[in-house]
Structure 1
Amino acid sequence: MLYATTPAAEKRRLLRERLATGELLRFPGAFNPLSARLIEQKGFEGVYISGAVLSADLGLPDIGLTTLTEVADRGQQIARMTDLPAIIDADTGFGEPMNVARTIQTLEDAGIAGTHIEDQINPKRCGHLDGKAVVDADTAIKRIRAAADARRDPNFLIMARTDIRAVEGMDAAVDRAKALVDAGADAIFPEAMRTLEEFAAVRAAVDVPILANMTEFGKSDLFSVDQLRDVGVNIVIWPVSLLRIAMGAAGRALDTLIDEGHLTSKLGEMQHRADLYELIDYEQYNSFDTSIFNFTITKD
């Protein structure tokens, strides 16, 4: 009731334990707190919080317009609703290395289990669009060092995302990944890999967990969990998928409302009221409220 029962530090510890086994962990993207509860209910291992989704939620493009406060506040709302660990997208860290340090501590305070900092220049671009530019190796390394030095919980996962594959090629991506691990990254997020072989090359180059981004309409094919597991991927995210599905369904429902004047034909596609109440634990709220605030009116 109200929030998850597992403390943030315990979520981080358990995430580290599971990553250490080498298994593949599935992190669908939550677009709001309720969808995070649904991800947990369905049996996934974690929740991902996408910067692109946070931007879209505010009606903004994913070009670095969101602030640390907006991201941390939304991350806290989502993370508190699930016992699963949540990894959040922190873009380029919201500024220079000192800003990156503040970002890490703010996200720790928000109950997040981990984050990734990328090596794009500001303003950044969606990782699967053309026209990206990346910072030099020295700047990328300083960001990750600042993040690693700033964290207070050693189990807070600091992931380095590199977008250099689309700019300078695969050899540069491997070299950048190695340098970022040396700088203190706990995991590597190689963005916009095109083939399974490219994921395998990153896997062979570093001895930390790697993440695969299975976003639709991007540079990567939509590989299956089994395919990614076979090449040594440890975390797979579907960052925008649930938002895309929800918005697609909403658009079709509005079309039906225009065409038919009611939504009777869509009832089978809707979440039932009973399922919603179960997901938000309505009965426990009711029981709690009744136990502490109940009275009878007596006549004198």
Structure 2
Amino acid sequence: MGKTESVRKRFATMLEDDGIIVAPGCYDALSARIIEATGHECAYMTGFGTSASLLGLPDMGFITMSEMIDNARRIAGAVNIPVIADADTGYGNALNVCRTVREYEQSGVAAIHIEDQTFPKRCGHLEGKEVVSSSEMVQKIRAACDARTDPNFKIIARTDARAVMGLEESIRRAREYYDAGADVIFVESPYSADEFKQISEELKGIPLLANMAEGGKSPMLSADELERLGYKIVIFPVGLLFSATKAMYSLAEEIRVKKTDRDVQDQMWSFKQFTDFIGVSKCNELSQKYKTN
């Protein structure tokens, strides 16, 4: 059994087992490795973070499918835990979604989520979103399910209707998307803990994903709280990105002001710590093993 098949089977088992799946957000291979190294069993590839880190641009439809899939491939290749990847709107109509699914499936991720926003889309916690008709999204979900070749590759349907059309419409759409074949349902940006509870009660029996977007529109609930409400997956999509950005910004200012960073090196990993983490010792061992005379 290959790595990808094994990881996807593990994720499928995790969905069936008791307990909530906690997936911190990564935006590159290094952040994914940090998530794995700290003992997490799942990671989430954030589109918000991918756009910010690769393009230096907001999550407002600038990033392309090929750029997202390249990032997904690097992330999935760097770790041995399941990766859930953002696939935005599926990058077009139902026919485009078929290709999107095939490309993400080949990247090695365990699951993707597709949302019912219009294109160009934007981060689910930004203003100005619009959604397509639920019938159009249903066809995208059906196309996605038909296009996959591995049944353990999971399709997560996301609805952004809460901010546009209200909670009841988002719940109605969620049921419709699940009936269309989605494995997991993702109702984006509930506005309160009571709304999270109402979603879980009205969609009881359906695997649900909760998005704890740091600083977003939803209240920050813990994984334990969400598990008690009946949620199956929780993502923390941009915490690592925001933490890294704050640290890098502070260090860059330190260098600008003092023309050195020697006074803050206690706030960094040492050269040895980082090279050990990134695998220099293992690479040196392999170099010796395959050294020519």
TM-score by length of 1: 0.93
| Residue number in structure 2 paired with 1:73 | 70
Amino acid at match of 1:236: V
User: Is the 8 Å Cα contact of residues 181 and 206 (structure 1) preserved in structure 2?
Assistant: no
Q: Displacement, 1:37?
A: 1.0
Aligned-partner Cα distance in 1 for 2:241–2:222:
20
1:178-213 CA-to-partner distances (Å, cap 9, x unmatched) read: 000000000011100122222222223142321111
Q: What secondary structure is seen at the aligned counterpart in 2 of 1:60?
A: coil
Structure exhibiting the larger radius of gyration computed from Cα positions: 1
Alignment of 1:1-300 (within 5 A): 7-57=3-53, 58-204=55-201, 205-295=203-293
Aligned-partner Cα distance in 2 for 1:265–1:35:
26
User: Is the 8 Å Cα contact of residues 55 and 66 (structure 1) preserved in structure 2?
Assistant: yes
Q: What secondary structure is seen at the aligned counterpart in 2 of 1:185?
A: coil
Amino acid at match of 1:109: Q
User: Is the 8 Å Cα contact of residues 100 and 147 (structure 1) preserved in structure 2?
Assistant: yes
Q: What secondary structure is seen at the aligned counterpart in 2 of 1:80?
A: helix
Q: What secondary structure is seen at the aligned counterpart in 1 of 2:114?
A: strand
Cα distance change, pair 174–6 in 1 and its aligned pair in 2 (3 A): same
Amino acid at match of 2:220: L
Amino acid at match of 1:148: C
Q: Taking every aligned residue pair, what percent have the same amino acid on both sides?
A: 40
The range that moved more, 19-28 or 79-88, is 19-28
Q: What secondary structure is seen at the aligned counterpart in 2 of 1:293?
A: coil
Aligned-partner Cα distance in 2 for 1:207–1:177:
12
Amino acid at match of 2:159: T
The range that moved more, 60-69 or 175-184, is 60-69
Q: What secondary structure is seen at the aligned counterpart in 1 of 2:74?
A: helix
Q: What secondary structure is seen at the aligned counterpart in 2 of 1:29?
A: strand
Q: What secondary structure is seen at the aligned counterpart in 1 of 2:26?
A: coil
Aligned-partner Cα distance in 2 for 1:108–1:66:
19
Aligned-partner Cα distance in 1 for 2:61–2:194:
30
Aligned-partner Cα distance in 2 for 1:234–1:85:
15
Aligned-partner Cα distance in 1 for 2:4–2:215:
33
Q: Displacement, 1:6?
A: 6.4
The range that moved more, 84-93 or 251-260, is 251-260
Moved over 3 A (4+): none
Aligned-partner Cα distance in 1 for 2:207–2:276:
35
Q: Displacement, 1:172?
A: 0.8
Question: For the aligned residues, what is the CA RMSD?
Answer: 1.4
Q: Displacement, 1:156?
A: 0.3
Aligned-partner Cα distance in 1 for 2:230–2:154:
19
**Would you say how many aligned residue pairs link Structure 1 and Structure 2?**
291
1:44-83 CA-to-partner distances (Å, cap 9, x unmatched) read: 1211111111111212221222211111111100111101
Aligned-partner Cα distance in 1 for 2:26–2:9:
21
User: Is the 8 Å Cα contact of residues 178 and 206 (structure 1) preserved in structure 2?
Assistant: no
Cα distance change, pair 122–199 in 1 and its aligned pair in 2 (3 A): same
Aligned-partner Cα distance in 1 for 2:245–2:66:
25
Q: What secondary structure is seen at the aligned counterpart in 1 of 2:130?
A: coil
| Residue number in structure 2 paired with 1:298 | none
Return 5+ residue gaps in structure 1 as ranges.
Answer: 296-300
